[in-house]
Amino acid sequence: MTEQENQPNETSKLSLDQVFTLLKEEDYLQLQFLFNQAHPGQLADILEAMPPKKRKQLWELMPETQEVEILTLLNDEVRNSLIIEMPTEELVAAAEQMDTNDLADMIEELPEHIRQSLEENLSDEIREHLETNLSFEEGTAGRLMSQDVITVRNDVTLAVVLRYLQLHEDLPDYTEGLMVIDRDGFYQGKLLLNKVLTNDEDTLVKDVMNTKHEPILATTDEREIANFFELYHFVSAPVVDENNRLLGRITMDDVIHILREESDHALMSRDGLDEEVDLFAPVISSTKSRTVWLGINLVTAFLAAWVIGIYADTLDKIVALAVLMPVVASMGGIAGSQTLTLTIRGLALDQITVGNRFWLARKEILVGIINGLLWALVVAFIAWLWFQDTGISLVIAAAIVINLIAAAASGVAIPLILQRLNIDPALSGAVVLTTITDVVGFMSFLGLATYFLL
């Protein structure tokens, strides 16, 4: 897809409302007409916003020429739901038109039998490219790169480059420069297009190519790739193997994809959700994906209940404690969650290291103490108004201070410990934190009450 291709004007936007209206009116001809004019990105968005039945119906109305592009743009769950119903020949035809990095992405998520019959039917050249992409781990440059690269040799003149370029009707999107290799395929540098424009035709490529930036190693992690692009204002970047042989290139759209995935992961995993989840998935698959998370949280809820159970006698004697105890747990949960989110983000941005983690923990605990004292006063006062019992007021105030300090310390410590254990803090941090603030909250409040008030 190049920018110059026949694309609609961005003002001719197809709205979701329009699609639903036309579906209701069963005006399939008009839908087909609009889909023919729309950009594949818009069509993918529309499919993702459809309940399953309507999704299949609309998919049939979308232009076949765009099918490949649409498939690569859909999220995994939605794409799979469409692919499963495609005849093998059609799927193979689509796969052969994809960039092999997109194909690698797709094929990994397919049910085993579909994957096999697809792989068997690919042409040798494409299978070979696909295997190259798949030989690198998910989330590395080698997996992300496109192997479709325009290269020029370092020992030719710009005049040769120009003639070569004139053979191409259009350059691929995100081509701000050409990759320069030597006669053996080793990466030499990047020839920026403006250098071709502003230098003499007799100049040799090697004299004007940009060698300031090291190429990206195929094993480089995607987060680091995104940082390079941001830091050095790349539009595209070469990917090489450990011997510096050019393997492919990564472009800006890959980086946007990385950023979006990272952001979705940070947001969704906190609720135990997969970032590729389909909002409109059928009931059964939605239920399955959520059940496990509820089960995990049930364990922590019973842990809290067990702590309360220890103090059943105390609760039996002073019922006001049962009324007030959720306040202590909840304040700890909220304060801890703030610290946790900040710490997880700091880790993701590589801002936390040996040199500052104690400073950070100390600061967060101090914040916990100050906020704890402040809100302990408020809570104690309200509790006193309610139950007119100084003992209960003093106990709840102390419990809140204790829980907010525990919350702050855990908010910093949990992500650091989980990371050390190679467990994703974005996924499990909140569960662990809530368990701690619940247990500490109930235990300190009911424990102090048992000791002082009985």
Q: Which of residues 336-355 bind a copy of itself (CB under 8 A)?
A: 337-338, 341-343, 345-346, 349-355
Joined together, the tokens standing for residue 320 give 């006001």
How many Cα atoms occupy the beta-carbon half-sphere of 204 within 13 Å?
Answer: 7
Q: CB-wise, 45 or 86, nearer to a copy of itself?
A: 45
- Residues 246-275 touching a copy of itself, rule: CB under 8 A, are 252-253, 255-256, 259-260, 262-264, 266-268, 270-273
Site string for a copy of itself, 364-383 (x = CB under 8 A): x-xx--xx--xx--xx--x-
- Check binding of 159 to a copy of itself (CB under 8 A): no
188 binds a copy of itself (CB under 8 A): no
Pick the binder of a copy of itself from 194, 207, 221, 452 (CB under 8 A): 194
Least distance between a copy of itself and beta carbon 346 (Å): 5
Cα separations in angstroms, 69 against 57, 73, 126: 18, 6, 17
Strands (E), 21-116: none
Number of residues that bind a copy of itself (CB under 8 A): 134
Q: Is 301 in the site for a copy of itself (CB under 8 A)?
A: yes
Q: What are the residues facing 151 on neighbouring strands?
A: 179
Mark 97-136 with x for binding to a copy of itself (rule: CB under 8 A) and - for no binding.
----------------------------------------
Q: Nearest-CA neighbor of 192 among 241, 236, 252, 239?
A: 236
Q: Does 424 bind a copy of itself (CB under 8 A)?
A: no
Contact 100, 128 (CB under 8 A): no
Q: Which residues contact 45 (CB under 8 A, 6 or more apart)?
A: 16
Q: Which residue has the tokens 């900040």?
A: 342
Rank residues 42 and 133 by Cβ distance to a copy of itself and give the closer one.
42
Site for a copy of itself contains 276 (CB under 8 A): no
Binding-site member from 61, 93, 156, 165 for a copy of itself (CB under 8 A): 165
Question: Taking CB under 8 A as the criterion, which residues in 11-30 touch a copy of itself?
Answer: 11, 16-17, 19-21, 23-24
**CA 130 – CA 128 distance, rounded (Å):** 5
**CB 120, min distance to a copy of itself, A:** 33
For residues 310-321, one letter each, b for 16 or more C-beta atoms within 10 angstroms of the residue's C-beta and e for the rest, the string is ebeebbeebebb
Of 14 and 110, the one with the shorter C-beta distance to a copy of itself is: 14
146: left (phi over 0), alpha (psi -120 to 50) or beta: beta
Q: By CB under 8 A, is residue 204 in contact with a copy of itself?
A: no
141 CB-contact burial (10 Å; exposed 0-12 / middle 13-18 / buried 19+): buried
Shortest reach from residue 365's CB to a copy of itself, in Å: 10
Q: Are strands 177-181 and 187-192 parallel, antiparallel or unpaired?
A: antiparallel
Within 205-244, which residues bind a copy of itself (CB under 8 A)? 210, 212-214, 228-235
State the nearest-atom distance from the C-beta of 312 to a copy of itself, in Å.
5
Q: Is 157 helix (H, G, I), strand (E, B) or coil?
A: strand
Q: Which of 66, 71, 438, 449 binds a copy of itself (CB under 8 A)?
A: 438
